[in-house]
Structure 1
Amino acid sequence: MTPPVFSHGSLRLYLLSLLDESPKHGYELIQALEQRFGGTYSPSAGTIYPRLAKLEEEGLVTKTSQGRKTVYEITEAGRAELRSRHDELRDIEAEVTDSVRRLADEVRVGVKQALTSLRAELASAARESQAKESVRPPGNDPQTQARFALREAELALTEFRQQLRSDLRVHAARGQLTDGFVQRLRADLARLRADILESFGR
């Protein structure tokens, strides 16, 4: 599935621009597109190869076999089309930049919402634990109560981890996870841990 930025014919033109930089085989084109989108979009082989075949049929690219790989190279006719559609290609580049920013924002908002949900779940687990402790028969020592609260907190964390893991897998399948996102996630989790420890007076 192509992202909204690639309207009809746009991906075809963008592939020509990538081949104008240097000859590439299909997987290299997929990687180049993924890098241009900052990891937020990774086209499938079923998206790329039919367009390459069409470009070859139109005489805009040629292909040669190098071992087990097929390398595609732009022709003079292909370069001529790029020159004639220079303004259109420039607009596509601008739209790619906007698309990357929008997809990254969506992932970032999703993680923030997940962290907010975790804080709420931990607070709820703490309140429920306190409520259960209040109706227990007297004589329970603090260590027993702490072990019970720990078990409830671990259940809340396990539930949150499963939910967030499922959300991240969905975004990963869409090619929306990047190294920068992972770094922000680590930082957000570190801040959350610090907040929790602070509640214990540490």
Structure 2
Amino acid sequence: MPPVFSHGDLRLYLLNLLDEGPRHGYDIMQALSDRTGGTYTPSAGTIYPRLAKLEEEGLVTKSVDGRKTVYAITPAGHAEVESRSGELEGIEAGLADSVRLIADEVRGSMREAMKSLRADLAAAAQDERGTTKTATDAPPYPYDDARAASREQLHRAEALVAEFRGRIRGDLRAHVARGGQLADSIVDELETALDSAGRALSRALRG
């Protein structure tokens, strides 16, 4: 994925954030993560030197509020933001594209996971149909063996469902923790896919 901010864009975007109101360093880093949908989470080593440079240029001031250092834009900094509003619009458009890309990747990952789950469930159902038919035609002892095989397949299916649940839950939690947006449409798509997989499994089990 290409860099979220091109050369010089981060400096201008920092000024834009401070033009909205004073912020302390962590708040600035969190705002950058939130507004890029988690695609860019800067470190203190990236942000503070740039804030210090802006202070040297007279575009930003800092003050101490308890244990926090609060940064505020100066009139000169505000004037630069105003004069470069067109550039800021382009940066904002780029950030929106990054967020959409992340959302597309999440949806694609979910679709692939659901395909894999449906295939695994269908295979488990096919195995169960096969073992059940064998058990019906076989003498009592092989029938018991078939039931044992079915129980093994049941454990396998349960493990697959649990693994899928854990993977999807982890992906969703990590996405939100990075500041990513979780739209209603994504959750709706997950609900529809799970419902479809459940119906497919029911049909397969009925034979």
TM-score under structure 1 normalisation?
Answer: 0.78
1:6 paired to 2:5: yes
Is the 1:40–1:178 Cα contact (8 Å) retained in structure 2?
no
1:63 paired to 2:67: no
Counterpart amino acid of residue 30 in structure 1: M
Q: How does 1:92-171 map to 2 (within 5 A)?
A: 92-131=91-130, 138-139=139-140, 140=143, 147-161=151-165, 163-164=167-168, 168=171
Counterpart amino acid of residue 191 in structure 1: D
Deviation string for 1:12-48 (max 9, x for gaps)?
A: 1011001001001112112322332345543333332
Question: Paired residue for 2:182, among 179, 182, 187?
Answer: 179
Give 1:115 shift: 1.0
- Percent identity between matched residues is 49
Give the distance between the partners of 1:41 and 1:191, measured in 2 at CA. 34
Give the distance between the partners of 1:184 and 1:43, measured in 2 at CA. 32
Give 1:127 shift: 2.7
Aligned to 2:36: 37
Moved more, 65-74 or 173-182: 173-182
Is the 2:39–2:99 Cα contact (8 Å) retained in structure 1?
yes
Counterpart amino acid of residue 86 in structure 2: D
Give 1:3 shift: 6.4
Of structures 1 and 2, the larger Rg is shown by 2
May I ask how many residue pairs the two structures share in their alignment?
Answer: 199
TM-score under structure 2 normalisation?
Answer: 0.77
Where does structure 2 lack aligned partners over 5 or more consecutive residues? none
Moved more, 60-69 or 130-139: 130-139
- The change in CA–CA distance for 1:51 and 1:113 in structure 2 (over 3 A counts) is same
Where does structure 1 lack aligned partners over 5 or more consecutive residues? none
Aligned to 1:73: 72
Counterpart amino acid of residue 26 in structure 1: G
Aligned to 2:69, the other structure's residue is in SS state strand
